[in-house]
Amino acid sequence: MFCVLCSVFFVLGSNFMELFSEYFRKDHFLSKIDSRIKLIVVLALLVMVLSSKGICFPLLIAALCLLLCLRMQVPFRVILVRFSQPLFIALVLLLLKLFFSGSEALFSLNLLGLQLVAHKDGLMEGLKISSRIIGAVSLLTTLGFAMPFTEFIAGLSWFHIPRQFIELLMLTYRYIFVLLEDAAVIYNAQKNRLGYSGIKQGLSSFGILSGALTLRAFENSQKTALAMVQRGYTGDMPVLRQGPFKIGEITIALFIILIMGVIWKIQ
């Protein structure tokens, strides 16, 4: 069982670059919109989702984001992978609120000699939190599909996000894929030598892999810093320049924010 779980984990990890790269992005109706406009709309909707008092508005945003992703021809398996972890977190929070929070009993459940009591008010609170998680993640995921990472960085720089934060984002995005490639190479070498043939052997191999990746990360950071200094890096990493705003895009963005604001208010 442990071997199977490790194999699934590292198969997903080895396909991470393919799933999270931009190879599936094509020309779609959102690709030509100014990145700053998309950021403004997403930030406004994100504030509405996080401040929502019900579950309908966040779920509506999640449904609209799913339709947009499908309209942009994003592969469905990529959508599932990106939503798997937040959906799991939302489910765990829902169960915790259901069985360990609230006062109005809904039903009881006997699990391995442990009496669990579900609460109606805990269920409603869990649904609110879970819906906010799903809605917020849907917005950020759709934003990632709607524009390349370089445009995202350019939009953040226009909002005067601290330069150090932008630089850290760019370097992190670059070396995530490098470390994943190293992890895949090490894992395949361990697997070919029966490194995951049992629980004890698998834990030992996983520890060795984690340690090796940590050392690789420090080594790559030192090499990158030295290479950047030798090429004249002075602390200012260039980003894309933004052109003037388009009146039509601003009008559509304000209309979307207004409509969503009305729905948020009346829910």
| 106 and 1 housed in the same domain | no
Average pLDDT of the chain, as a whole number? 81
| 71 and 136 housed in the same domain | yes
- Residue 188's region, left for phi above 0, alpha for psi from -120 to 50, else beta, is alpha
| 142 and 39 housed in the same domain | yes
33-76: pLDDT as tens digits: 888 899 999 999 999 999 988 899 999 999 999 999 888 888 88
| 49 and 175 housed in the same domain | no
Residue 12 has pLDDT above 80, yes or no: no
| 103 and 124 housed in the same domain | yes
CA gyration radius, the chain: 23
Q: Which domain holds residue 177?
A: 1-22+149-236
184-240: pLDDT as tens digits: 888 888 888 888 888 888 888 888 888 888 888 888 888 887 887 887 777 666 666
Three-state SS for 121? helix
| 47 and 135 housed in the same domain | yes
Residue 215 has φ and ψ, to the nearest 5°, of -65, -40
pTM, 2 dp: 0.75
Using CA atoms, how far apart are residues 81 and 101, in angstroms rounded to an integer? Answer: 30
| 187 and 106 housed in the same domain | no
Residue 98 has pLDDT above 80, yes or no: yes
**Residue 127: count of CB within 10 angstroms of its CB:** 19
| 81 and 196 housed in the same domain | no
| 128 and 43 housed in the same domain | yes
| 101 and 159 housed in the same domain | no
16-44: pLDDT as tens digits: 444 445 545 567 777 788 888 999 999 99
Q: What is the pLDDT of residue 105?
A: 80
Q: Cα 99 to chain center, whole Å? A: 28
| 139 and 163 housed in the same domain | no
Using CA atoms, how far apart are residues 187 and 13, in angstroms rounded to an integer? Answer: 10
Q: What is the DSSP letter of 31?
A: T
| 220 and 255 housed in the same domain | no
- Please give the tally of structural domains in the chain: 2
